[in-house]
Structure 1
Amino acid sequence: MSVSIDITGLLPERIHVVPSPLAELGMALHALAEPGHHPGLQGWATAVSARMDPCLADRMCDADFLWRTTFSDVFAPFAGIPGKQALPGATLAEELDLLDKLTDEQFVDAALEFTCQSSYAEPNRSILGTPEVQQRALELAAARGPHQVRFTKRLLDDPSAVRAWFRQLVEDCDEAFFADTWERLQHQLAADARHKTDLLRRKGLAEALKAVSGAASLDEEARLITFDKITEGRTVTGDGSLVLVPTSLGWPHLMVLHRYGWQPAITYPISGPGLTAPPSVEQLTRRMSALAHPARMRLCRHLARGAYTTGELADAHGLTAPEVSRHLGVLKKAGLVTTRRRGRYVQHQLDIGVVSRLGSDFIEGVLR
């Protein structure tokens, strides 16, 4: 399992390492929504949440599925600009202007990533112009809850209004807490970008990728970058660019944007705080045995990002519902998965607290 980028024909001068304030804001929102993913940021998250205006907190909840269970590509609008050579803006305002340049179709497609499905590999998919695709999006949202259904309907009925609402939300988050955070982090990110750029120039892409992540490798002969991740995907740079975006708040997430028709981009963490001590031998044996099956590892990747129904997981992984149920039973018996009922839906989620005690290698793998 891996995500790969075909860089055939990619010129060295079209490889860029650039910080992105909008991407980092997306990471900040995710860390606030899922503090269990980011044990090193719990103090920061607690402080920000304590002084958060309740009205802003409620508005953030209206769209938290854009950053809680996935990293929506609305936070990387530069990648969707025609020509595949745009770069992140130097300021949040510049990046929001790039977001405004995306078509309604692009924005809606990227915003609907909160479902269990990915449209990355679907060329010429038209959401706004195809009733069947819209109905499928609403069906998937229904399993996520009424909150997501309302948002999906708003998005499909009036994407321009939702785009304006989202931009205002981002600007208000910036004023409330992110501007101070960005002021503190931007110098660190810029320094890392300069270091990686220097590696690119002096030692080449292979060495720069090695410094980015141990999960990245370059096949010089095949002109292929491969990322060792518990998911599959493939994209090409073509005659466009490759953009590497450093993040300080994003550990342990290593993200490869491989949406069809968009510019490839890699968002990588520049630091990795430690986790708690490993579990007992008895716990480790029982839990690692449960995780030994590759299908359960793939399920864990979804379940680490949010709660999903058996049907959603079956659709996403090409399995039958009974097969998914059997795998979930093994994970639950090992104490790795929790279950909750929401109306007529039963949702399952990985217990990040328990999994983190297996050690950083596993937690980085499922969250990468």
Structure 2
Amino acid sequence: MSVFIDITGLPQERISFAPSPLAELAAALHALSEPGHHARLHGWTTATAASLKPELADRLHEADFLWRAARADILLPPTPRETLAEELDDLDRMDDERYVAAAMEISCASRYGEGIASPLVDAAVRKRALELAAARGPRQAAFARRMLDDPPAVRAWIRRLFEECDEVFFADTWRRVRVQLAADARHKTELLRRQGLAEAMAAVSPAVTVERDGPRTRIVVDKLGHGRTTAFEADSGSGSGSGSGSGSGAGVTLLPTAFGWPHLIALHAPGWQPVVQYPVSGRELAGASTPVDTVKLRLEAVAHPQRMRLCRYLARGAYTTGELADANGITAPEVSRHLAVLRKAGLLTTQRRGRYVLHQLDVAVVARLGSDFLEGMLR
């Protein structure tokens, strides 16, 4: 389960790192709408939300499906600019069908990777988009209907909303974070130039790797989902209209964000230039990311009732296979089979003491898996 970006034959200079004010504004708006995702930003989200006038807060709520559950592709520019105004100008040059189709990609569960038609031209897609908006609330449903009925007016409304956010809180925020983001982009660019693609992607995130299969080369973004795209698939001017400066549309853009953690976003819609927005993390986070397949393996390992009972003992101390069998009323071979599953998932530590082999739950690993589970084992 990953997003695969085929970059076979792509010149290295077409892989670019750059900060984007529009993408960072979208990340900040997401943090405001879902503060539970961003405990590290509690101070900023609390202070910023409290400073918003009710009228602005209401309008942000009205349009929040653009950045809340799913990030609209129009908010991830393939050709970042120096200023928010320049990126909004690029966005204005996009045609209505493309803009509305991207803006109405409301649900992460929808058919994102299929390249479906715009709701402006396809009645079935329009109906589905309105249903998804209605599920978000009556104000979001009304906003979606206005967008479908009068795209130019709503596009102008969205631009004014972003401009007001810039005036009220984002301009000051951007001044504080842009230096960090620009420095990160320069560092990754230099790493790409000097040490190559694999090293640069590893520096982006442990969840981003490079896969080579014969003549083919792909960037792999480890996510709980599946998608495929190519750096050569984008239309001319993909994502920002014909004036975006994206040239042939061939390339991959990586956008650092100070507001994004723990999210790692990969734009891989058909016909769009691939864009990855990655969090700029502190040194203490290096290597902390666990592959999704490993998380799945660990969840499956602890989901079995008998293994949960074994984990209760193993969380409290080190035990031999015989001790666990006696305490749980099962045979030693049964215990060994369950321990093998837990060990394969990386949840056990094992030590030999003379002729005895002692097993214990790796509490640090289990804590990352879920504090409620660990507390239940230790209760």
The counterpart of 2:87, out of the listed 95, 117, 122, is: 95
Q: Percent identical across equivalent pairs?
A: 56
Q: Match of 1:253, as an amino acid?
A: H
Q: For residue 284 of structure 1, what is the aligned residue in structure 2?
A: none
The question of whether the paired residues in 2 share the 8 Å contact of 1:119 and 1:259 is answered with no
| Separation (CA, whole Å) in 2 of partners of 1:228 and 1:235 | 14
1:67 positional shift: 1.3
The counterpart of 1:153, out of the listed 135, 145, 153, is: 145
Structure 1 pair 127–291 and aligned structure 2 pair: CA distance change class (3 A): farther
| Separation (CA, whole Å) in 1 of partners of 2:92 and 2:302 | 43
User: Taking structure 1 as the reference length, what is the TM-score of the superposition?
Assistant: 0.71
Aligned-residue RMSD, C-alpha: 2.3
Q: For residue 66 of structure 2, what is the aligned residue in structure 1?
A: 66
Structure 1 pair 358–141 and aligned structure 2 pair: CA distance change class (3 A): farther
Q: Say yes or no: does 1:245 pair with 2:237.
A: no
Map 1:1-368 to 2 at 5 A: 1-76=1-76, 78-79=77-78, 87-123=79-115, 125-220=117-212, 221=214, 222-238=216-232, 240-271=250-281, 288=299, 359-360=367-368
Which of 1 and 2 has higher RCO (CA within 8 Å, sep 6+)? Answer: 1
1:118 positional shift: 3.4
| Separation (CA, whole Å) in 2 of partners of 1:217 and 1:71 | 22
1:137 positional shift: 1.8
Aligned residues: 280
1:361 positional shift: 6.0
TM-superposition CA deviations, 1:109-148 (whole Å, max 9, x none) = 1111223543432336232112222122223333333222
Structure 1 pair 198–184 and aligned structure 2 pair: CA distance change class (3 A): same
| Separation (CA, whole Å) in 1 of partners of 2:228 and 2:146 | 31
For structure 1, the residue ranges without an aligned partner over 5 or more in a row are: 80-86, 275-286, 294-356, 364-368
TM-superposition CA deviations, 1:279-323 (whole Å, max 9, x none) = xxxxxxxx9569859xxxxxxxxxxxxxxxxxxxxxxxxxxxxxx
TM-superposition CA deviations, 1:161-186 (whole Å, max 9, x none) = 11000000000000000000000000
Q: Match of 1:72, as an amino acid?
A: A
Structure 1 pair 176–12 and aligned structure 2 pair: CA distance change class (3 A): same
1:191 positional shift: 0.4
1:150 positional shift: 1.0
Q: Match of 2:90, as an amino acid?
A: L
Structure 1 pair 359–164 and aligned structure 2 pair: CA distance change class (3 A): farther
| Separation (CA, whole Å) in 2 of partners of 1:50 and 1:206 | 43
Q: Which region of structure 1 is more displaced relative to structure 2, 131-140 or 148-157?
A: 131-140
| Separation (CA, whole Å) in 2 of partners of 1:288 and 1:129 | 43
Q: Which has more radius of gyration?
A: 2
